[in-house]
Structure 1
């Protein structure tokens, strides 16, 4: 990383370009297959320039040169010999599930790495570097962005960080509910990944948009639906009922990252946000997933990827690019050399397929279009001669293409519910959600050491995710047990992620942190509580109560006796 004492230009990071060029030397493209060149390109781009990219936005000419070096090496070009680039670099840089090769564009990766500095700055208020930067550039409130208006006195580092804040962090952050003092109820993303105002069913009053979450909350009663109800659809009202403001432990509102399930920032999730393409297009994720999961060498999977994009240089394509004079197949001289003709319909290949294709597959095999033909064969579960058909098929089409090229260019020569110890009580809780998120309920049962029913509950929550429903079950179960003055309690939950939250804690930025901390408030009281994970089969009684709650009105329902409708006895059988 050079010491920047003057304005950056294209020569400032010349050493980075030189190191990348040395690692991707032209001679290596001659001795490596395309699969090998792809692996080396990813390795070099993820190591050499990353340190410089992590602190400052590199000049546009430097970033373009990095992509040019990588692009040329991948397709086998060198100074002495240029080769055809079969697919645009933008499409190559898409994720594999979207039809790309998973290479990361230098420009977008540079921005994602610099964004990490901005995110750390927003989260860190106490370290020396954060206090210096905050003071120098006068960082203000997240809702007031006037401090991000560019100034001539800004350094190169801060210009990059400010750009990341405006272009990535603002659209990529959401709020985690605390006391509601900072969250703007209608304008901030907090209940979902977009502001509530985008889902409003009517025009809000003039001053309503600036109201905070705390302004819509009535202590001891919950959300003020007399002010909220007329403007929200029913599904969002149900989701809102599953969220509460934290006025118990004094937690404040805090930001988290939309791009990850746990709210933690990562460079990879920032890169996905930067490169997200909102234009509608056909969903081909399952098709490309099958290509990259075929059991075959990497070079064969890469050939299937090229075939799926229909960029193989057959005679039809070569004539279109003015690289040859005839579209006719040079092997059979009997038809235009399209991709499907080369790989399936040419008599030279058709004879091979007749010998190896299972008899019951032959009719559809020779009648499908190219993409349907590829998909049907790479996902077929047929076993032929102890080898999966998709492996045989992939090797055969790759070999057929290699043979064709050699010919054209002259190169051929289960569990039980157990009772606790006698002096212990056992609490089983469970959550249920018809979708994620969807209509959600929770249930729980408290039993003594002999397995006898002590109390139970069913909770119709509204609309939320499955982990949130599970946590609500734990919270109300602990509250029920504490009110009955239980001295020793075994808490059994069948969702491992919730058990982890209860035993190991949770980050403040996690969207579920508000409820986990409320549960920890009960766990820290003056009693003994053991939290354990059980399989779903050993949690049938709580599961029955949770499912029974779907038929009950919204809210909490306490049972001193077993509701007969749940279909299991008090011992959980």
Structure 2
């Protein structure tokens, strides 16, 4: 705050010099501000003339005397944007400082007066790639790689996405780096990816892993500029052209509902101020007769005053247009302006009515199919690697014999645990005789033998859902953790039998459940502690 108060004085001095014509106008009509200040970085825009340079150095000297913040010209730099040789000579004579090349980078953003070239985006891709842990990546579990992708690799581009419309090839290049999730390498191909990347990028409740979809996140971030233009038009950058994708603009138009106060900031023809809808939704045929300038500029107070909205209608009036005209007339007659009250703009995807990038991002998934067991999987207390495993179970993407056979890969001829049936993930976890015995032993010790899987169980998800419904609410969190734990130990025992030649043993699995469950409880699984350790003896099989 102190920095803002001090630097506002410098901005006021530069603005005064501009108003008094001590500075020549900047060529671009879009450049409305001559100064940009952030932390200890200050950028000034001026013409390469003796008068402008002398004026600016004088302003900096006055500012230094008043605040004590003196400018060391020799440590500053000049970046010519469109200057000739004579201009550069004058600059070098008046400003004894370094002259840098343009285009350049400022606050991490590439600056250019032309469309950014592919080479301008390579530093971003390299920065993401540099965060890969190299040879250590292969030592990370999938859960560890998931944390790295979500917390680091997905967050690096956010800053640039807020300001720039990143090309699709850049997003694909970053996604290729993030796909190291599956193999621990930055060049994972389709065979290494167990689940489609489009599915992986969905939120947890829609069947994904919660990894950001960079394209949708970029759209959600830049909706911020539309929101601030609508709710805070006095922002210094208001009126500047902001790159916003048409899909983001469409979401913004749907998401914002306006409540009429004085009508000064609500667009008459496009904003949703008539019973939560805009004019185009109430009167689509009539709306087609409105000229573009009126659609963009007409506010509610302008349209309602003396019914000027009527004068915006152009062209022949058909019967349908007349019907819609009367309908719109009746709607507007019920609107009462309140001069002392400012207009309100509400974001319908948030309970507090204010925009957030999170709510905008989630809005892009509205209407998607919900992943029914997502709460049982992701809200339960369990290590992330175990939740990842259960997620793969529901996606049927574990390398069991049936999937290996489809790809003509070596696989067990029968279930490694019972040697009676073909191995599928559903068979392995609840249909297998071995697995059912494990469930029966553990659940009977807890007094829950009635929910143990029976030979007629149709599927792991169905059995889990019905089992949770049959216990008290106070036991459900603990039961969810227990089911994840037991399924994880059955899978580990299966792998031990396949790759290490271990003989199937029910007691070994039960003992592993008890020991691993004790570790989970010590780590914070309180609900599992209440359900498991108070019943099962610690450190030995029942």
Q: In which range does the TM-score fall when normalised by the shorter chain?
A: 0.5 to 0.7
Cα distance in structure 1, aligned partners of 2:288 and 2:196: 48
Q: 1:322 to 1:98 in 2, by over 3 A?
A: same
Corresponding residue for residue 132 of structure 2: 24
Query: Who wins on radius of gyration, i.e. which is larger?
Result: 2
In the TM superposition, residue 65 of structure 1 has moved relative to its aligned partner by 0.9
> Structure 1 residues 291-300 or 374-383, which shifts more?
374-383
Corresponding residue for residue 98 of structure 1: 206
Which has the larger share of helix?
Answer: 2
Q: Could you tell me which of 59, 74, 89 is aligned with 2:181? A: 74
Cα distance in structure 2, aligned partners of 1:260 and 1:176: 16
Q: 1:21 to 1:206 in 2, by over 3 A?
A: closer
The aligned runs of 1:394-433 (5 Å cut-off) are 394-410=484-500
Q: Secondary structure at the residue paired with 2:346?
A: strand
Matched-pair contact (CA < 8 Å) for 1:382–1:389:
no
Corresponding residue for residue 354 of structure 2: 264
Q: Could you tell me which of 177, 188, 193 is aligned with 2:260? A: 177
Q: Secondary structure at the residue paired with 1:329?
A: coil
Number of aligned residue pairs: give it.
368
Q: 1:346 to 1:206 in 2, by over 3 A?
A: closer
Corresponding residue for residue 63 of structure 1: 171
Q: Secondary structure at the residue paired with 2:119?
A: coil
Cα distance in structure 1, aligned partners of 2:245 and 2:377: 40
Q: Secondary structure at the residue paired with 1:54?
A: helix
Corresponding residue for residue 537 of structure 1: none
Cα distance in structure 2, aligned partners of 1:37 and 1:170: 38
In the TM superposition, residue 44 of structure 1 has moved relative to its aligned partner by 0.8
Cα distance in structure 2, aligned partners of 1:292 and 1:318: 28
Q: Deviations over 1:299-358 (max 9, x none)?
A: 222222221222222111121233236663233331111111111222322221221232
Cα distance in structure 2, aligned partners of 1:14 and 1:208: 45
2:441 equivalent to 1:355: yes
Q: Could you tell me which of 113, 137, 146 is aligned with 2:221? A: 113
Corresponding residue for residue 17 of structure 2: none
In the TM superposition, residue 187 of structure 1 has moved relative to its aligned partner by 6.2
In the TM superposition, residue 86 of structure 1 has moved relative to its aligned partner by 1.5
Q: 1:230 to 1:105 in 2, by over 3 A?
A: same
Q: Could you tell me which of 380, 386, 389 is aligned with 1:300? A: 386
Which has the larger share of strand?
Answer: 1
The aligned runs of 1:156-305 (5 Å cut-off) are 158=242, 160-161=243-244, 163=246, 166-180=249-263, 188-190=271-273, 194-195=277-278, 198=281, 245-247=336-338, 249-251=340-342, 253-273=343-363, 275-276=364-365, 278=367, 281=369, 283-285=370-372, 287-305=373-391
Cα distance in structure 2, aligned partners of 1:292 and 1:178: 44
Q: 1:379 to 1:314 in 2, by over 3 A?
A: farther
Q: Deviations over 1:348-374 (max 9, x none)?
A: 222212212322223668523232123
Q: Could you tell me which of 18, 22, 44 is aligned with 2:152? A: 44
In the TM superposition, residue 116 of structure 1 has moved relative to its aligned partner by 2.0
In the TM superposition, residue 76 of structure 1 has moved relative to its aligned partner by 2.4
RCO comparison, higher one (Cα < 8 Å, 6+): 1
TM-score by length of 1: 0.54
Q: Deviations over 1:11-55 (max 9, x none)?
A: 322222222222223434322222221111111135322222221
TM-score by length of 2: 0.57
Q: Secondary structure at the residue paired with 2:199?
A: helix
2:460 equivalent to 1:370: yes
Q: 1:115 to 1:410 in 2, by over 3 A?
A: same
